[in-house]
Amino acid sequence: MLLLLFQALFSKSVSAVNNGLAQTPQMGWNNWNSLGCDVSQDLLLDTSRVLLSSGLKDVGYNYVVLDDCWSDGRDNDGYLRPDATKFPRGMKWVADKLHDMGFLFGMYSSAGELTCARYEGSLDHEEKDAEIWAAWDVDYLKYDNCYHMGRFGYPEISFNRYNNMAKALNATGRPILYSLCSWGEDYVHTWGMSIANSWRVSGDIYDHFNRPDALCACDDPRDPHCVAPGTHCSVMNIINKVAPYVDRGQFGGWNDLDMLEVGQGGMDDEEYKAHFSMWAALKSPLLIGADIRRLSSKTLTILNNPAVIAVNQDPLGRSVAQIYRDQHVKKDKYGQGETQIWSGPLWRHDQLVIFLNAADEDLEMTTTLNDVFIHEGPEGSAPQTRDEFDVYDLWADRMEHHTAEQVLAGNHQYKNSWYNSTQTPYKEGLAKADPRLLGKRVGSVGPKHNVLRANVPRHGVRMFRLRNLTGGSPRYAMTKDEL
Looking only at residues 185 through 204 of this chain, which bind ligand GAL when binding is defined by CB under 6 A? Answer: 204
CB nearer to ligand GAL: give 116 or 438. 116
Total Cβ atoms within 10 A of residue 481 = 5
C-beta separation of 251 from 17 below 8 A: no
Looking at 110-118, 270-278, 349-357, 380-388, which segment touches ligand GAL (CB under 6 A)?
110-118
Q: Total residues at the site for ligand GAL (CB under 6 A)?
A: 10
Looking only at residues 200 through 229 of this chain, which bind ligand GAL when binding is defined by CB under 6 A? Answer: 204
Burial (CB count within 10 angstroms: exposed 0-12, middle 13-18, buried 19+), residue 365 = buried
CB nearer to ligand GAL: give 221 or 439. 221
Shortest reach from residue 184's CB to ligand GAL, in Å? 11
For position 116 contacting ligand GAL by CB under 6 A, the verdict is: yes
Half-sphere exposure of 343 (CA within 13 A, CB side): 22
Query: Rounded to the nearest 5°, which phi and psi values hold at 120?
Result: -60, 130
Q: Pairing between strand 177-180 and 140-144? A: parallel
Among 43, 52, 101, 117, binds ligand GAL (CB under 6 A): 117
Shortest reach from residue 181's CB to ligand GAL, in Å? 5
Closest CA to 196 of 226, 164, 222: 164
Active site residue 77: no
Strand partners, 445: 389
> Would you give the end-to-end CA distance of the chain in angstroms?
55
Of the candidates 58, 144, 256, 387, the residue annotated as catalytic is 144
Active site residue 291: no
Among 58, 68, 139, 371, binds ligand GAL (CB under 6 A): 68
CB nearer to ligand GAL: give 117 or 408. 117
For position 314 contacting ligand GAL by CB under 6 A, the verdict is: no
For position 32 contacting ligand GAL by CB under 6 A, the verdict is: yes
Rounded Cα gap, residues 269 and 296, in angstroms: 12
Among 67, 131, 261, 390, binds ligand GAL (CB under 6 A): 67
Among 64, 181, 201, 292, binds ligand GAL (CB under 6 A): 181
Burial (CB count within 10 angstroms: exposed 0-12, middle 13-18, buried 19+), residue 135 = middle
Looking at 113-121, 220-228, 317-325, 368-376, which segment touches ligand GAL (CB under 6 A)?
113-121
Rounded Cα gap, residues 189 and 168, in angstroms: 22
Give every CB contact of residue 109 below 8 A, 6+ residues apart in sequence: 80, 115, 121, 122, 129, 141, 142, 143, 144
Rounded Cα gap, residues 256 and 439, in angstroms: 26
Shortest reach from residue 107's CB to ligand GAL, in Å? 11
Of the candidates 58, 204, 207, 350, the residue annotated as catalytic is 204
Query: Rounded to the nearest 5°, which phi and psi values hold at 411?
Result: -75, 110
Binding mask 125-164 for ligand GAL (x = CB under 6 A): -------------------x-x------------------
For position 233 contacting ligand GAL by CB under 6 A, the verdict is: no
- Residues annotated as part of the active site: 144, 204
Q: Contact positions toward ligand GAL, by CB under 6 A?
A: 32, 67-68, 115-117, 144, 146, 181, 204
